[in-house]
A and B are shown apart, each in its own frame.
Chain A
């Protein structure tokens, strides 16, 4: 069978990584936010904000590194609004999250139209870090160990978060903020500060994921380019039940679906593109059906914390 040539397999695996990294960052960010009790539906907006800010800065400064930094900051800015409305003012998290997503979609589309609609600039290819030794493994090597630094960062975050949740005071405080905020408050910790920290951290991670899509993935910014990646991140966080490693597995699975659909098209398999593009979302529904049944979420998820209120 000519379909499974080495080149094809490398492209397929590289595609899994390219599609999976934004999902991984989104899932880890959402997990952090949800653990602290904030259901962050604005994650899609944060991702777009990061994608736009990252592309803009990378293009203007001609520095990829600054671009990624700006992406994280762009996501953080949108998250700051979430903190203000949902954590500080205690407004409904779902409503504000949807509003932030719609707002970010409109704003970035408008800005893109004003700035780039006639130029359509492209960014140069992002330089990769070749890990000596590992990169020489056939197939897996070029796909996994000759990648953009952000890929390594995203992978390193998985054990880092696992350690944070299991081994640190901050991890305990985050879990308490989501499970029983009143207990945390009466222990003398600032619930709102912990939640704000978690949401901002989420924003930065998700923004970085967005920047990865625009800078490393596409090389351009296109309005609505994150199409649904943030929402899949919410699903991943829910299925992972608080474990970062599961987010990684989920991101790999959905990344494979996304990349598989592209690979199938490239390989010239004759399936209508609409069906192929539907694949990842069908996978989401299938996985939710199988594993979503007893997903356990923090008990105070989605509820604003107001001291003294029962």
Chain B
């Protein structure tokens, strides 16, 4: 299809009529799981069709079949009413199906134009100028601003996604899949993408939007389908959705996703800031801490956390939160200042020695530094005790003890894994987090640092993780909770500090005025 002509004209019938793509009894199995179980679904031109589901509900599998990466084991996919297999990504493009994945599918070392001409006949000379002009025109048409000559690697993720959408339309896409496209975006970029979706739908494109954020689903969607454990458990048709107010629609979706009404609103009430007894000695004391060599240098950080207290750290991501957590855990060298745990200085101690004294760090990089993906769940549960009795005796592994420990923790922390021997990398994000929690929270945890503990998890796992944080504090440990979600901090913390460019801009008690004060601190008003 030539470049210029792309979006089907808006004169075409929007909604109603025959679907562009229709799934009939589509089933896909992987060893040990049914990823998609007899899915029936319709996708219409001019509609934003939202696919909702928790991690592991089968959304990604469905997408990979629509984009030609995988083939269904059973059932069929009808394109414009004809049963046609989508044999490859190239085949999907020919039909007019384009996918924008969560992780950008542009080559970072090429410019946007060069990415746009990838996949053309290789013996022809790439027409950079002409393509750039068409790209700019298409971008202008859908209200996106981009520089076609920019190097992809220099752009933000949001800009890359917009460029991918432009590229898809240039190739004649009439069926656009956005796979978790907003998951890694800033709220501002996510909102822009939402508006773009609406505009595309009004031009007659069929948009499939995969997400696990309910508000986005209700705000941008015309039609909602909910997947759970590989099955389509229900949906809301456009007519119904239009008549519902956002609150009612959210409630309905939550009911479909979890079978209950009130999971989304957070199970427990807000904490009472007065419950912490600050008369005694603090567990964790940070005194004039500096880390000059860190990626985000820390300067003059001071705070104390008492037993049973959750000390929240708010702030825009990348303001030194990770560096602070690593400095406390011993992974980042400090240049000045002291850290005291239960009255004893620990800042000269190694990572292992600090852990031995009860200082625990639950990283946000679950698969990178938290676990070894190819190791079994059982070994990952003991990753920081390898070689120690009773699991290893004189260097020899004791499989019975290791398995017993794993079984106990899998039960206690509700880790959903096929077996204790399964490599941890095969589990979903929520279950990997449970493995981390199980490892770090057992034994004598005195002070626990949670770094973005609910990042990337689905609602059920978010609720479970937040409960663990509360339980940890109630058991008498000091908790440092680093999060970029203000609501999470307001729900769980007794006091909240705001971190800004490596410094704590202020500490506020979590009372009714906390939200306003934190907002002021974050924008640099308060001081």
Interface residues of A (CB under 8 A from B): 167-170, 172-173, 175-176, 179-180, 182-190, 298-299, 307-308
Q: Which residue of B lies closest to A166 (CB)?
A: B126
Q: Which residues of A contact B109 (CB under 8 A)?
A: 175, 179, 298
Interface residues of B (CB under 8 A from A): 64, 67, 69-70, 88-90, 93-94, 99, 101, 105-110, 114-115, 117-126
Q: Which residues of A contact B94 (CB under 8 A)?
A: 188
Sample 28 A-B pairs with CB under 8 A, ordered by A number: A169-B118, A169-B121, A169-B124, A172-B110, A172-B114, A173-B118, A173-B122, A175-B109, A176-B110, A179-B107, A179-B108, A179-B109, A179-B110, A180-B107, A183-B106, A183-B107, A185-B89, A187-B89, A187-B118, A188-B88, A188-B90, A188-B94, A189-B118, A190-B90, A299-B108, A307-B69, A307-B89, A308-B70
**Contacting pair A180 B105 (CB below 8 A):** yes
A-side binding surface: helix, strand, loop or mixed?
helix
Say how far A269's CB is from chain B's closest CB, in angstroms: 47
Say how far A268's CB is from chain B's closest CB, in angstroms: 51
Partner of A169, one of B69, B88, B107, B120: B120
Q: Which residues of A contact B105 (CB under 8 A)?
A: 180, 182-183, 186
A-B contact count (CB 8 A): 76
Say how far B517's CB is from chain A's closest CB, in angstroms: 42
**Contacting pair B69 A172 (CB below 8 A):** no
Interface-central residue, A182, A183, A299, by most chain B CB under 10 Å: A183
A170→B90 CA distance, assembly (Å): 17
**Contacting pair A184 B107 (CB below 8 A):** yes
B-side binding surface: helix, strand, loop or mixed?
loop
A168→B123 CA distance, assembly (Å): 7
Partner of A183, one of B64, B93, B115: B115
Say how far A49's CB is from chain B's closest CB, in angstroms: 28
A166→B109 CA distance, assembly (Å): 12
Q: Which residues of B contact A172 (CB under 8 A)?
A: 110, 114, 117-118, 126
Q: Which residues of B contact A187 (CB under 8 A)?
A: 89, 93, 115, 118-119
A180-B105, A183-B107, A308-B64 known, 15 other contacts, Cβ within 8 Å: A167-B125, A167-B126, A168-B126, A169-B118, A169-B121, A169-B123, A169-B125, A172-B118, A173-B119, A179-B108, A179-B109, A179-B110, A184-B107, A186-B105, A188-B90
A298→B115 CA distance, assembly (Å): 16
Q: Which residue of A lies closest to B167 (CB)?
A: A187
Q: Which residues of B contact A190 (CB under 8 A)?
A: 90
A167→B128 CA distance, assembly (Å): 10
Say how far B115's CB is from chain A's closest CB, in angstroms: 7
A182→B118 CA distance, assembly (Å): 12
Q: Which residues of B contact A185 (CB under 8 A)?
A: 89
**Contacting pair B106 A169 (CB below 8 A):** no
